[in-house]
Amino acid sequence: MANVFERKIAYIFRERGYYTIVSAGSRGVADVVAVKANETLFIQCKNNRLPSLFERQKLKNVASSLGGKAVIVTHKKRRILIQEI
């Protein structure tokens, strides 16, 4: 089951017009995949920490090999930070 933070991020991107898929239990490289028109985002959600260099590189490699963009979403001081890598 996807955690609350991942579901919240999926909701934010749905509100922006994306179709979203949440990976339950973080079984893949991306926690959320968001698709709209000619854009696919592979999103890694980190609630309590930044992703490691290995995690970022793996996400970036998968996203670019599939023609998408790698995005990191973190939570800091009640603010959600969205960053394309």
pLDDT band at 16 (very low <50, low <70, confident <90, very high): very high
Amino acid in position 29: V
DSSP 7-58: HHHHHHHHHTT-EEEE-GGG-SS-SEEEEETTEEEEEEEESSSPPPHHHHHH
**Eight-class DSSP state of 2:** -
3-state secondary structure (DSSP) of residue 60 = helix
Average pLDDT of span 23-34 = 82
The answer to whether the CB of 35 falls within 8 A of the CB of 66 is no
Report the pLDDT value the prediction gives residue 75, as an integer from 0 to 100: 86
Amino acid in position 43: I
pLDDT band at 2 (very low <50, low <70, confident <90, very high): low
**Domains, the chain, ranges and CATH?**
4-84 (3.40.1350.10)
